[in-house]
Amino acid sequence: MRSTSHQDDATVVSPEGRGDATIVSQGSGDATVVASAPSPMAVGDATVVGQALQTVDLSALKPEVTANLILHNPLAMAGMRSENYLLCELSGAFRGQKLVRPPVHLSLVLDKSGSMEGKPLEYVKEACRLLIDKLGPADTLSIVTFAEAVDILLAQSPVSKKETLKAQLDLIRPRGTTNLYGGMVAGANQLAMVKAPTHLARIILLTDGEANEGVTEYGEIVAKARSMRRDGFSVSTVGVGIEYNEELMRGIAKNTVGNYYYVDAVSEIPRVFEEELATLFEVVAKNVRMSLRLPKGIKLDKFYGRDVSTENGVTSVHLPDIVAGDPQSLLLKLIFDSHPLARFRALQANLSFEYLGQTIRSDLAFDAVVEFTADRQRILDSINAKVDSVMRVKDVVAEISRAKQMLSHDAGTATVIMDRAKTVLMQAGREGDATLIANAADLLACGQVEKADKTLGATSWELEE
């Protein structure tokens, strides 16, 4: 967004519009950029192993992605090493009336091991029936079940004869152990049968236990999940009860940029499925990737809640789908070496993504600028309160991790940490997350350590996202 001149390996900047996105507002080192999808959008056609699906004309959709960049402080002290934080807010929307939605392709991968017998499996079946009712003939669905073996209950097919699809659910019978890896791979293989690169493909993986059959190693399972992401599939995981492996379920979701849910009461399973489907229906853009370039003398110390990779001086991170009405807040910590009195570019960023219904990638380019000054009071007066609040919320994640480690042997200290975290979240307007922390403290007080642990884990996931 700015023209540049080079001086002693540092980039001195002056404001000037350019390029492939519109600067809506700019000042104090902040920038907001908006990108709209080219018009018209592609028609959403697809096939499943040679079988044509119902066509959906997406030309009336008007999706839009907005990126807002805010520095914790647009000023820094010249002549000394310092740190700063950068908040990137991503949001999506559909302009005007949304009369159609892009098709979705789902694979339900369901644990049917012996521990799922009774109410858990009945609620899973109810959740699947509700989901089928909300899908249409342009969508496709497969249902994979796993115990010690993997069964394809329903091959990937259009959601047309709904009562026939629902009847398949009655064939699920609980038995045996938990071949989670095999089920996940089978779900991905089903989605691969759909030839629809412009659509959204997702696995919903549900289990109440440990992976104890087939491939069981965390690293191998997560590596496979990561390869699924490269193939265009995301995995949302649902952990039921207290026996499942939270680290594994979070790892699968994180490495495929899916969602993670903890279900305490099995009666909540239908609600979770509905919530996940509602999110899918509001996806504006997928395959989201952010690339960062930092000039000499400025380093990325931390990208909160995300795993990054760096190659040839470019740091990249995969991000979740951009969903209408569900903005993402990304926090970065930057370290500045000593700089002279001047304004410098601190970072150049590029957000690359695909609007649903399109095969071409769209880009938003933006940067952050810091003024190095000797005026300490100006620096103190320039702190951005919004970024300050987000920083405190992100720090709560580390506090939750400390509390989780102490639950079983130092409940008193864990409770103090949770009370402190709850206060910070209330002050930041995160009442829902504060309530979850309070629930975890109540569970701990009642001796339900495992449930408290899972509740804290689900809360930290929400805060990281």
Both 273 and 177 in a single domain? yes
Q: Say which CATH number the domain at 217 has.
A: 3.40.50.410
Confidence of residue 46 (pLDDT cuts 50, 70, 90): low
Both 268 and 323 in a single domain? no
The tokens describing 79, both together, are: 């002549």
Domain boundary among 224, 248, 283: 283
Provide CB contacts within 8 A for 355, sequence distance 6+: 37, 41, 63, 65, 284, 285, 362
Q: How many domains does the chain have?
A: 3
Both 458 and 323 in a single domain? no
Both 139 and 198 in a single domain? yes
Model confidence at 22: pLDDT above 50? no
Both 88 and 168 in a single domain? no
pLDDT (0 to 100) of residue 244:
87
* Mean pLDDT of the region 26-40: 51
* Mean pLDDT of the region 252-263: 92
Both 157 and 267 in a single domain? yes
Burial 437-448 (b: 16+ CB within 10 A, else e): bbbbbebbeeeb
Confidence of residue 375 (pLDDT cuts 50, 70, 90): very high
Both 33 and 146 in a single domain? no
* Mean pLDDT of the region 16-44: 43
> Using CA atoms, how far apart are residues 64 and 90, in angstroms rounded to an integer?
11
| Structural domain containing residue 227 | 104-283
Model confidence at 327: pLDDT above 80? yes
pLDDT (0 to 100) of residue 102:
84
* Mean pLDDT of the region 282-290: 91
pLDDT digits (tens, 9 = 90+) for 146-164: 998 999 999 999 998 899 9
pLDDT digits (tens, 9 = 90+) for 66-79: 999 999 999 999 99
Both 82 and 154 in a single domain? no
pLDDT (0 to 100) of residue 15:
33
Q: Say which CATH number the domain at 66 has.
A: 2.60.40.3670
pLDDT (0 to 100) of residue 11:
38
What percent of the chain has a predicted confidence (pLDDT) above 90?
Answer: 58
pLDDT (0 to 100) of residue 418:
92
Instruction: Look at residues 121, 141, 107, 115 and name the one whose alpha carbon lies nearest to residue 213.
Output: 115
Confidence of residue 196 (pLDDT cuts 50, 70, 90): confident
> Using CA atoms, how far apart are residues 85 and 166, in angstroms rounded to an integer?
50
What percent of the chain has a predicted confidence (pLDDT) above 70?
Answer: 87
- What pTM does this model have? 0.83
Domain boundary among 384, 403, 424: 384
* Mean pLDDT of the region 54-69: 81
The tokens describing 464, both together, are: 């990281």
pLDDT (0 to 100) of residue 232:
86
pLDDT (0 to 100) of residue 175:
86
Model confidence at 17: pLDDT above 60? no
pLDDT (0 to 100) of residue 359:
65
Model confidence at 122: pLDDT above 70? yes
Higher pLDDT, 274 or 52: 274
Both 197 and 220 in a single domain? yes
pLDDT digits (tens, 9 = 90+) for 335-346: 999 999 999 999
36-50, 195-209, 440-454: least confidently modelled range: 36-50
pLDDT (0 to 100) of residue 37:
58
pLDDT (0 to 100) of residue 36:
59
Both 291 and 278 in a single domain? no
Show the CA angle centred on residue 115, arms to residues 112 and 182, nearest 5°: 40
Both 175 and 315 in a single domain? no
Both 186 and 272 in a single domain? yes
* Mean pLDDT of the region 34-39: 58
| Average of per-residue pLDDT values in the chain | 85
Domain boundary among 384, 410, 426: 384
pLDDT (0 to 100) of residue 281:
92
